[in-house]
Structure formats: C-alpha cells, structure tokens
A and B are shown apart, each in its own frame.
Chain A
C-alpha cells in the first residue's frame, strides 16, 4: 500500500478526493417531500376550514351573513356578536349571556380537578408502592369502572345525590366528576409511580420517611409531568362535559356547555348565527388555552423529570 502512494495512481482510483464525501445531499423538492407536505397541508386545511368559517361569521353583522357567502371575510368587522354572546344572550328568562355559564363552569371544574387529582394520585401511589392486601382486587374493580358506560349509572346517581341532598347543586356535579375521573386517573398515576425506580422508595423507607413523607417529599416533586397530563385530561374533560351538567344541575348552575346549547338551540326569534359562532368559540376557548399553555409546560416537565440513574 505504502508503495502505491509514490507511484502514479491507478486509473480506477484516478482522484480519490473527487468521490462522495461527508453527508449525502438530499433534494428539498423530491416526490417524497411533495407527497408528505401536500398531505399535511390538505389535512390541516380540512381541520382549519370550519374554524375559519366560525371566526369569520362571528365578526360579521346579520345583514352580511344573509348574503350567504360563508367563506368571504367580513366587509365590516364588528365585535357586537361577541359582546352579545358573553353578556346579553338569552336562555329562558335569564338574559345575562354566557358569562353566567362560564363562571359556573369555573366553579365546577376547579374543585373537580383538584379533588380528583389529589385522591387519584394518592390512590395510584398506594397501589404502586404500598402493596397492601387486596391491592390487585381493588385495582381490578377500579379499572373495571373505566369500562362501564356512563349512561348506565345516570339514574342511580340521581337517587344517590338526592339522598345525600346534593342533587341539583354545584357540589353534586363536582362529586360526580371526581368519581368518574377516578379510574382513569388512578391508572395513570399508578403506572407513572410504578415506572419510578423502586430503590428510591426503599431508600426513603430506610431514611425513615413514612407514607405521607415519601408521597410529598419524594414522589410528588418527581411527578410534575404526570400531574400536568392529569390536569389537561381533567380540565378539558370536565369543561367539555354536557351530559352530567344537564342531568345533575339546575338552570341557575348550568355549566357553560349546557348554556351554549340552550342559546344555540333556542327556537324563538331569529337565528343569530354570528352570536352562536361567538358563543361557541368562547366556550371552546378554555380547553384551547389549556392545551397551548400546558403543552409547553408538559414538555418542560418531562425534561426536568429526566434524571437518569
């Protein structure tokens, strides 16, 4: 080999520096890329079009809507429908708009989320780390609960709430949401706590920490990501709930979704499409904001929790 370097190179390896070297270049506009990006754009358009129509319509006045060009941008932008949806739209005798439903929903969602996450995380922790007698049986029952259709339980719960005097009240609905969130949240927390190294738990026991000490000082600080996931699940689930809201509450404590339905489906008078669109967007805003805000937190939480052994 060393000899060939001093001789003139053989014709097959005429100039070794001219051959391929380094990263293989890729064409930006290839058939593959066109296909992928084309499909993605088409799907995005398909999903965004209804949203576009809603936003555009909510910014138009009624005369403009009657022209029938639903895709056309508003000639004259007006926020009147938004104001009306929030504070003036009528449901039955009340004419104070969606704001009442919004605050009802807040008062239902916040305690439900806090209560269900608190209980479920302790449940999951106990199931994952303190293998008490009958833990598997308890867990099986809990998981089984996740597969029972809600409709089956509606009437028994009505009776139960009536007996304990919470039927029709806001706290009754909070209780129902907390109970129905339990199976899936417990499963979520149990699986997460099981994935944490068992030796941490053992070390904490040797260090003399008890059930609550380990939970609050060791487990919770390591579990920010799963708490965020549970929060996203619960906030969106409870905020979007319609069925329980309509069954277990009375008109003055109706959640936002139920009130939205009553506004949009009211039969008397003219159909105010712009107000309906604005009301719908307002109702959907909360889950949307949760997704945007906690999505970032979620990623950061995962990164912060990643301390490898």
Chain B
C-alpha cells in the first residue's frame, strides 16, 4: 500500500538554528501516528511543515501521492486541530464549521449537509447556534475536531489537542478520538508530550529529540524494546532503573562499584557478537519482583525501602540497594513502610542493555 504521507529529507532552519534536519517519515494510509517528545524537540514544527504553515528549507512532502511541498495549507487535503482550539470567537459553532467550506466555494446545501453530519458524529447539534465563548473546554475541542471533519479530508493533524483540558475530560476525549479514528479510518498525525496519550492512541509512535526521530515503532515495541537510553527513560512512569556495569565475555554483567555479577542468559541481543564493554543495564519498576516472588528470580538483590508512594492500584517504592536507588512497583495492597528490608529480584529477559558510550540498544 502506498504511504498516505511521505516526508523526504525535510530540513527546516530558522536563521542559523536547525530545527529539523534531513527527516524522513512515511505514514501508512489509515494509520494513527503519534509524534512524541519533550518540548522543543521539533514535533509541532514537523506538524506545521506537513500542514504547510511553515515554509520548509529543503526536502519534499507528499500527501496521497501528490507533491504538496509548495501547496497552500488549504489545498493539501488536511484538517488541523489546535491546542488552543483556535475557534473564531465572533462566529457561531455552525459558522466555525462552515467557514472553510464557504472559502472553498462549496454549494450552500452541501455545506449544511456536511455540517449536520459532522455535528451528528461529534454530538454537538445543540451547540450549533452558540458562540465559542459559551462553550466548555471539552465542547470547544469537539467543535475544533468538527471543523477538521467537515472538510472531508484524508489526513487529520492534531497539535496537542487535549493539553488544555483537565485530566478527566482528557481521558474522555482521548477515548472519543480513538473511536473516531476507528470509525473514519483516516490517516491521523497526533502531536503530544503526554506518553499515556501516545501509548493509548497510536498505531505507531515516533519519538523525537532535537529534530530527529529516535525510534518509530508500535507502543509495545517502544515500551519493551526501546532503541536507545533516551527512549527508555522517556517512556514509562516512574522511569526505568539504570545500573552501570560491564559486560564480560558476552554473557555476564558485572555491576559497577564492586556490585554482584550475574548471567545475561535469556536476553535477546541485537548483535550477540559485539557486546563486550561498559554498558547500562535498565529494568522497569514493574519488572522487579519483591518478597517471595523475588526468591524465584534469577537475579536477587538486598535493599532497604526509602520512600513509599501509594497510588491505590499499585504502590511505588524507592529502594536503596548498595548505594543505587531504584524504583519498584508493588501490588496496591502491599504492606510496606520506609525502613523495611526487602529482597528484590528480576529476570534479565525483561531487561534492556544499552552501550555506555553510544547509548544504543545492545
């Protein structure tokens, strides 16, 4: 299948500052792609380039097999939803929805039909005569999505659409966006800095940093097999625990500061031939067992609980093991207080190893 969006060697600089450098990206038709990264990583900039709202320095952008590099935003076959909703305050909801269609010279009867259909999909019919100032945040964002919907486009672009909403509403609208995608099957590109949104919505996630895509993969792959240490640290809360160590003879890891050595049998190396040397050993808090479970694990460490954060569904504990602090996730019912001595254990099969100097996955 041909890609719905194809970005080739995209470069963008503001003066001497390079924001995007030789970026390549293919988005499949009907795919939900999330651009994820901390602020300033270039994810919104990339989205604005795709929309045609920023003039690119070099490269090409194809949407539905058409070279749109020099096209106006309105001619690219995209609809866009903004973080601040960007509803026209002086127009009614119906006016907001039909503004784009009027500009495109769509006949009046068809405008009404399309507005009615979008309003039906998003359940905003009762709001059509109101002004944006009289709507709540969630309603406004729904209208903003509707404005993209009426344009009957192949590609939807979302620029942090839920970041201005409160937590409850955000979760609700997240579900709605996912349902909308399942129903419409349009290509969607969604920019966010919220990893929960990214993990739950995406078919594939592109993790960005300094204008580069570090890893482009499914949520599962990114979570379980992060391509480098940055991705491993960025995804997951609390963040992955890291130990310094040295891999000896390709099979044993000796932890730094005269820590214990243990076998890495079970870990899938990308290239088993070249794995000797200094490395980071990473393990997620939820992959660390404690108490009786830990006794069954191949690797066991002694530690003392320093801090406990009960979350209800589970309990987070910070454990001090021979000088290094690690977070572990325990059952919500676990009775643990700071000062407790615990035995923790984990399996190298669930671990992640990264080269010390390149920080790439081993």
Chain A residues close to B by CB (< 8 Å): 197, 199-200, 202-209, 213, 217-218, 221-222, 305, 307, 309
Q: How far is the CB of B90 from chain A (nearest CB, A)?
A: 4
Question: How far in angstroms is the closest Cβ of chain B from A40?
Answer: 37
A206 and B103 form a contact (CB under 8 A): no
In this complex, what residue of B is CB-closest to A205?
Answer: B73
B78: chain A residues within 8 A (beta carbon)? 206
Interface residues of B in 329-350 (CB under 8 A from A): none
Given contacts A222-B89, A307-B89, A307-B132, whether A206 and B80 have CB atoms under 8 Å apart is: yes
**Residues from chain B with Cβ under 8 Å of A218 in the complex:** 88
Q: Is B133 a contact partner of A307 (Cβ separation < 8 A)?
A: yes
B180 on the A face (CB < 8 A): no
- CB of A199 within 8 A of CB of B89, answer no
13 A-B pairs with CB atoms under 8 Å apart are A197-B84, A199-B83, A202-B48, A202-B82, A203-B147, A204-B88, A204-B99, A208-B74, A208-B103, A209-B103, A218-B88, A222-B90, A305-B89
Q: How far is the CB of A290 from chain B (nearest CB, A)?
A: 25
Residue of A nearest to B140 (CB): A309
CB of B293 closer than 8 Å to a CB of A: no
Inter-subunit contact B80/A202 (CB<8 Å): yes
Contacting residue for A200 out of B53, B75, B86, CB 8 A: B86
Chain B residues in contact with chain A, CB under 8 A?
A: 48, 51-53, 72-75, 78-80, 82-90, 99-100, 103-104, 131-133, 147, 151, 159, 164
Determine if B88 and A200 form an interchain contact, defined as CB atoms under 8 angstroms apart: yes
A24–chain B nearest beta-carbon distance, Å: 34
Residue of B nearest to A131 (CB): B55
Complex-state Cα separation, A222 to B100, whole angstroms: 18
Interchain CA distance A300-B133 in the complex, whole Å: 16
A222 vs B51: C-alpha distance when bound (angstroms) = 25
Contacting residue for A202 out of B75, B86, B87, B103, CB 8 A = B86
Q: How distant is B350 from chain A, measured CB to nearest CB, in Å?
A: 43
Contacts of B131 in A (CB 8 A): 307
> Bound complex: CA of A213 vs CA of B103, how far in Å?
9
CB atoms of A205 and B89 under 8 A apart: no
A208 and B53 contacting across the interface, CB-CB below 8 Å: no
Contact A206 B99 (CB under 8 A): no
| Cβ-closest 10 pairs across A and B | A208-B74, A207-B100, A307-B89, A208-B103, A199-B86, A203-B86, A309-B84, A221-B90, A199-B82, A307-B133
Given contacts A222-B90, A309-B85, A203 and B133 within 8 Å (CB-CB):
no
The verdict on A199 contacting B84 (CB below 8 Å), with A205-B53, A207-B100, A209-B99 known, is: yes
When the two chains form their complex, are residues A202 and B53 in contact, meaning their CB atoms are under 8 A apart? yes
Contacts of A222 in B (CB 8 A): 89-90
The distance in angstroms between the C-alpha atoms of A202 and B49, with both chains bound, is 12
Closest-CB distance, B173 to chain A (whole angstroms) = 16
Instruction: A265 to B131: give the CA distance in the assembly, Å.
Output: 58
- Chain B contacts for A199, CB-based, 8 A: 82-86, 159
A199-B82, A199-B83, A213-B103 as given contacts; A206 in contact with B51, CB under 8 Å: yes
Whether the pair B84, A206 counts as a contact (CB closer than 8 A) is no
Contacts of A221 in B (CB 8 A): 90
Tell me the bound Cα distance from A206 to B80 in angstroms.
Answer: 7
CA distance A205 to B104 in the complex (A): 12
- Nearest Cβ on chain B to A308's Cβ, whole angstroms: 8
CA distance A204 to B48 in the complex (A): 14
Residues of B within 8 A of A217 (CB): 88, 99
Could you tell me if B72 and A205 are in contact, using CB atoms closer than 8 angstroms? yes
Say which residue of A197, A207, A305, A309 sits within 8 Å of B99 (CB atoms).
A207
Complex Cα gap A256–B159 (Å): 57
Task: Report the separation of the CA atoms of residues A217 and B83 in the bound assembly, to the nearest whole angstrom.
Answer: 22
User: Given A200-B88, A222-B90: A208 and B83 within 8 A (CB)?
Assistant: no
Chain A residues whose CB sits within 8 angstroms of the CB of B87 once the complex forms: 203
Beyond A199-B86, A207-B147, 8 additional pairs, beta carbon < 8 A: A202-B73, A206-B53, A207-B100, A208-B74, A208-B75, A217-B99, A307-B131, A309-B86
Q: Let me know if B89 and A206 touch, CB within 8 A.
A: no
**Contacting residues, chain A, for B53 (C-beta < 8 A):** 202, 205-206
Asked if B82 and A203 make an inter-chain contact with CB atoms under 8 angstroms apart, the answer reads yes
Residues in A with CB closer than 8 Å to B147 are 203, 207
CB-based nearest A residue for B55: A131
Contact A206 B100 (CB under 8 A): yes
